[in-house]
Amino acid sequence: MPSVDRAGPPLVGGPEAGGGLPEPARRLPEPPRNRTGAPGLRKEELHGSVSDPVLDTMNFLNEVTHRYPDAVSFAPGRPYDGFFDTEDVFRHLRRYLDHLAAEGAGPEQVRSAIFQYGPTAGQIRELVADSLRKDEGIDVPPASVVVTVGCQEAMFLAVRALISGPDDVLLVSSPCYVGITGAARLLDVEVGAVEEGEKGFDCAALEAAILAERARGRRPRAFYVIPDHSNPSGTSMTLPARQELLDLAERHDILILEDSPYRMVSPGEQLPTLKSLDREHRVVHLGSYSKTLFPGTRVGFVVADQPVVDEAGNTGLLADELARIKSMLTVNTSPVSQAVTAGMLLSVDGRTSELNTRTAAYYGDAMRVTLRELDRRFPEDERGALGIGWNEPAGGFFLAVNVPFRADNAALERSAEEFGVIWTPMSYFYPQGGGESSLRLSVSYLSHEEIVDGVDRLARFVRAQTHRSG
């Protein structure tokens, strides 16, 4: 999933990086064969997740990007690293080890903390909980936190715990981040798409989906949503919509999986998280440090303070159950990675907002420049006739552009080849179809010059394609 969403490296490439996902299947000169002369494995015999069409679309996007290296790419949701100093990693690590010593750990205990496996639920849960309280007003006990290998593992844990049989359904806001549908795909979990309206989440659509699933004999267990500056559409939920969603979850006895990676890196005041408004333990909060600290630690977390009662009447927390699942998946999150993360949290006394003043301004500027250039290239009085429009997110990495033609792979290829500009077809993000005339632009990693140039190219492409289609 990395390339067109959170993880952008294959589209840019590190020093040793050969691309994020493997390249598309290729003809080997002499495929090794077994004694019977038959090839070893047939792809259709492997689990269906490896043939998920989303992966092929990502591959296609990677391939286009590799083929047109000079194109301006609005595809990758890659965080900007210009404010990061490589030496920071050493400093953060040192800070955490010093912190342990200051807290009374002897040299052998410090060594153990970095050398050994750690507790499955994580060894920096107190620091994570402290940061959530200061940054987000999310006040939960450290025992309700599980530290994960990025937010992706958090999603997997939540889906695995909540979906127990073939009648259970996961509902997702659509268009939808591919990470959650990917996790569901690995588990053969059925996903029900709840269409966003023009303004994002629509409570009536969710309620209708819940009732429709129930009518089919299915049990909707949870609803996944990015309330702030969503990936891919850039929409945010209003405060009343947040309240309405919480009430709905309570009324219909479902959980909400809240994913919110873009809040701290967006300019200005943010609305409260669903979790901070949650009085009934309806929200499982999925956390990422990939935008607020840095992606290279692969540290995320999940907050799951829901009480779970077993048959004997004993009560634990959903976090305990998620840790059990994690013990069978990755055992524990790297203590080295956790140490670097912890050192970074300690450097600002848990206030990641302080670390992100500059980055939030940077991304905010990029979004403003993009919107300004779109305005400039498509004057308001022409838009109706052209059939083009876009939303105006106040933050995050993404915006959605509606176009008067099919924004499909063929269009993307033409855009890259003839106009030197790459974007992501929004249809990639619709689990059950949709978004055919829309595309996603990511603004997180381009310079202002690249944005100006890129929107110019995009505008020329859109006009040419409209002309061609019309």
Residues 131-160 that bind its own copies (CB under 8 A): 143, 149-150, 152-153, 156, 160
110 part of the interface to its own copies, by CB under 8 A: yes
* Sole binder of its own copies in the list 48, 212, 349, 392 (CB under 8 A): 48
Least Å distance between CB 163 and its own copies? Answer: 6
Residues 12-41 contacting its own copies, CB under 8 A:
12, 14-28, 31-35, 39-41
- Residues contacting its own copies: total by CB under 8 A: 135
Q: Which of 60, 63, 95, 112 binds its own copies (CB under 8 A)?
A: 112
Tokens standing for residue 460: 């020329």
* Among the listed residues 272, 296, 387, 389, the single contact to its own copies using CB under 8 A: 296
Question: What are the distances in angstroms from CA 114 to CA 107, 129, 150, 464?
Answer: 11, 21, 19, 57
Residue 263 contacts its own copies per CB under 8 A: no
DSSP H helical segments within 308-379, as ranges?
318-327, 335-347, 352-355, 357-377
Cis peptide before 79 (omega within 30 of 0): no
The rounded Cα 103 to chain-centroid distance in angstroms is 35
Instruction: CB nearer to its own copies: give 1 or 274.
Output: 1
For residues 3 and 460, what is the distance between their CA atoms, to the nearest angstrom? 25
Stretch that binds its own copies, among 45-53, 200-208, 256-264, 451-459 (CB under 8 A): 45-53
Q: Which is nearer to its own copies, 133 or 281 (CB)?
A: 281
| Minimum gap (Å) between residue 410 Cβ and its own copies | 19
In order, the DSSP letters of 221-238 are: EEEEE--SS-TTT-----
Q: Give the residue from 275, 199, 220 showing the smallest Cα distance to 242.
A: 275
Nearer to its own copies, 39 or 197 (CB): 39
Residue 463 beta carbon to its own copies: minimum distance, rounded to whole angstroms:
34
Between 310 and 380, name the residue whose CB sits nearer to its own copies: 310
For residue 416, the surrounding DSSP H or E stretch is helix 409-419
Least separation, in Å, of the C-beta of 107 and its own copies?
7
CA distance 227 to 200: 9
Binding status of residue 277 toward its own copies by CB under 8 A: no
Give the residue with the Cβ less far from its own copies, 131 or 415.
131
* Cβ 256 to its own copies shortest distance, Å: 13
Contacts (CB under 8 A) with its own copies, residues 301-340: 305-321, 323-325, 327-337, 340
Q: Which of 195, 207, 250, 436 binds its own copies (CB under 8 A)?
A: 250
Identify the H or E element spanning 9: none
CA atoms in the 13 A half-sphere facing the CB of 422: 26
- 396: contact with its own copies by CB under 8 A: no
Does 50 bind its own copies (CB under 8 A)? Our answer is: yes
380 binds its own copies (CB under 8 A): no
Tokens of 187: 């588990």
Does 243 participate in binding its own copies (rule CB under 8 A)?
Answer: no
CB of 354 to its own copies, least distance (A): 19
Strands (DSSP E) found in 407-447: 421-422, 424-425, 438-442
284 binds its own copies (CB under 8 A): no
Closest CA to 48 of 182, 219, 220, 192: 182
CA-CA-CA-CA torsion sign (226, 232, 234, 240): negative
Q: Find the part of the chain contacting its own copies (CB under 8 A) among 44-52, 191-199, 430-438, 452-460.
A: 44-52
Is 47 a binding residue for its own copies by CB under 8 A? The answer is: yes
Q: Does 117 bind its own copies (CB under 8 A)?
A: yes
- Distance from chain centroid for Cα 222: 17
End-to-end Cα, the chain, rounded Å: 34
| Residue from the set 74, 223, 224, 294 that interacts with its own copies by CB under 8 A | 294
Q: Are 277 and 243 in contact (CB under 8 A)?
A: yes
Within residues 338-357, the interface with its own copies by CB under 8 A covers: 340
Structure tokens at 38: 């038959």
Output the CA torsion sign for 446, 452, 453, 458: positive
Q: Which two tokens stand for residue 408?
A: 């499909």
How many whole angstroms separate alpha carbon 235 and alpha carbon 229? Answer: 5
The nearest distance, CB 172 to its own copies, in angstroms, is 14
What minimum distance in Å lies between the beta carbon of 185 and its own copies?
Answer: 6
Of residues 73 through 102, those in contact with its own copies by CB under 8 A are 78-79, 81, 84-86, 89-90, 93-94, 97, 100
Q: Which of left, alpha, beta for 122 (phi over 0: left; psi -120 to 50: alpha)?
A: left
Of 234, 176, 466, give the one whose Cα is nearest residue 371: 234
Structure tokens at 327: 């013990």
Q: How far does Cα 424 stand from its chain's mean position? A: 15
Which residue number, 132 or 304, has a Cβ lying nearer to its own copies?
304
| 171-230 binders of its own copies (CB under 8 A) | 179, 182-183, 185-187
Q: How far is the CB of 236 from its own copies (least distance, A)?
A: 24
Cβ-based nearer residue to its own copies, 95 or 383: 95
